[in-house]
Structure 1
Amino acid sequence: MIDIKNVSKSFGTKKAVDDIRFQVPSGSITGFIGPNGAGKTTTIHMMTGALGIDQGEILLNGIDIAKNPIQAKREFGLVPDSPDLFLRLSAREYINFMADIYQIDQSLRNQRIGQLAKDFQIESDLDQPLSSFSHGMRQKAIIIGALVCDPNIWILDEPMTGLDPESAFLLKEKMKEHAQKGNTVFFSTHVLEVAEKLCDQIVIINKGKICFDGTLDSLKEKFPNQSLEEIFLEVISNA
């Protein structure tokens, strides 16, 4: 579970995130949507400890990310908004690096790496440098690096970007399986059709403020006979 309590973040005079509060429950998939510059990535950076919090608190399975950052970071796996990381490493080196951080047993990690590399069809490329990969291939390696650690919480920032249809479908299935086991999945996306088909809960942010937080069914009850795209445009226009 992720608990965001009255969190704000400013950059100079610009308030990027303004006193937001919401919960991401365990056993569900929560979609985080909003226009460009709405505060999605800033929120995720605070959730993961990459940015400090000006006010409020963020709890990951009850652990305060500001007060106990190392302990809190062991609770989640992250797929960031860009896969252009550690490009001098091979895919295998990067994945093993992530497994080392989470102290995953060698035999267990080898088993997971083998299966995930097969699932995402990069078995033959594991020992190639990430710098030689296409965007989509780098994205697969970053995803495997997060999944191989099998954390309770998945935080995914635009995880489908660059993936081929088969890999995108596979990731969505893995997200469903993870949530069905009682774990937490939180992901941002610009693809509203994906959110509509995949999410149990939707959080909409615009201009640093939360415009809606609730189940997809409750959102549709407020706006009957409209697609999520139409609902989204109406919600942010009234924010």
Structure 2
Amino acid sequence: MIEIDGISKTYGGTVKAVDHMTFEVKDGEITAVIGPNGAGKTTVLKMIVGILAPDEGNIRINGHDIVSDPLEAKMQFGFVADNPDVFLRLKGIEYLNFMGDLYGVSTEERQKQIEIMGDRFEMKEALNDKILSYSHGMRQKIVVMGALLHSPSVWILDEPLTGLDPRSAFELKEMMKEHTREGKSVVFSTHVLEVAEKLCDKVAIINKGRLVFMGTLNRLREENPGEDSLENIFLKMTEGL
């Protein structure tokens, strides 16, 4: 579970990227964060995982404050950033072992997880190649595998489907569903409204640093009668704000 309480972030003393935002990502739910370019989605996710510090407010992950108790808080989640170009000179298996060492994953458990995810993402044959030689989609898959290697209860994913081939995108979406069926939580940002509409339990709509809606799709439709698609509602809610 992620608890976000009144967080704000200002860049350069003038640009308010996030403005007093409060919401929860509950266990057993997939929450999609959607919004126009520059709305503040990535800034919010970077504050949740501790890359950026909020100017005010608090963030707790499974009860651990990301600022005052960062090591324990970071053990609770797996994070996939929006740029998969990391550790390019390592082989895929070296990167996964590095992530396993970082999170204290036993040899037996990491081998098991690498086997499972390698099959699901069709990456087993590429693990002994350098990440530098991977396509964008393959780099995205190895980063996802590394983030999930320690079986975290909370998944935080920034545009995780970008660059994935249809089969791998399907597998990751299925993994999200399986994860929340076990009573765990997923929050991900996306520009693909159809994915949010079909996959998520709740949506957080952000525009110009402010949370303009947080709740279920049914509630969103109830508050916007006459609009059937998430796309139409999204355009209506972010127009002119």
Give the TM-score range, shorter chain: over 0.9
Cross-structure match for 1:230: 232
Distance in 1 (alpha carbons) for counterparts of 2:92 and 2:222: 45
TM-score (normalised: structure 2): 0.97
**1:56-104 C-alpha deviation (Å, 9 max, x unpaired):** 0000011100001111000000111010011111111111111111111
Alignment correspondent of 1:8: 8
| Cα distance in 1, alignment partners of residues 119 and 171 from structure 2 | 12
User: Are 2:92 and 1:91 aligned?
Assistant: yes
Partner of 2:18: 17
Match for residue 214 of structure 2?
213
Question: What residue number does 2:193 align with?
Answer: 192
Q: How does 1:1-239 map to 2 (within 5 A)?
A: 1-12=1-12, 13-224=14-225, 225-237=227-239, 239=241
User: How far off its partner does 1:226 sit?
Assistant: 2.1
User: What letter matches 2:19 in structure 1?
Assistant: D
**CA deviation digits over 1:4-50, x for unaligned, max 9?**
10000011111110110001111000000000000000011100000
Paired AA for residue 64 in structure 2: I
Deviation of 1:105 (Å): 0.9
Give 1:220 shift. Answer: 1.2
The runs of 5 or more residues in structure 2 that have no matched partner are: none
Question: Which portions of structure 1, spanning 4 or more consecutive aligned residues, are displaced by more than 6 angstroms?
Answer: none
The range that moved more, 215-224 or 168-177, is: 215-224
CA RMSD of aligned residues (A): 0.8
TM-score, with length taken from structure 1: 0.98
Distance 2:163 2:46 in 1: 21
Structure 1 distance, partners of 2:240, 2:4, is: 23
**Structure 1 residue 194: Cα displacement:** 0.2
* Residue identity opposite 2:87 in structure 1: F
Q: Post-superposition shift, 1:238?
A: 5.4
- For residue 37 of structure 1, give the secondary structure of its aligned residue in structure 2: coil
Distance in structure 2 (CA, Å) of the matches to 1:110 and 1:136: 22
Count of matched residue pairs: 239
For structure 1, list consecutive stretches of 5 or more residues without a partner in the other structure: none
Letter in 1 for 2:221: K
**Residue identity (%):** 53
Q: Tell me which amino acid in the other structure corresponds to 1:7.
A: I
- Secondary structure of 2:231's counterpart equals helix
Q: Alignment partner of 1:78: what SS? A: strand
What SS class does the counterpart of residue 156 from structure 2 fall into?
A: strand
CA shift for structure 1 position 145: 0.7
Q: Structure 2 CA distance, aligned partners of 1:159 and 1:86? A: 18
Q: Name the stretch that deviates more: 216-225 or 151-160.
A: 216-225
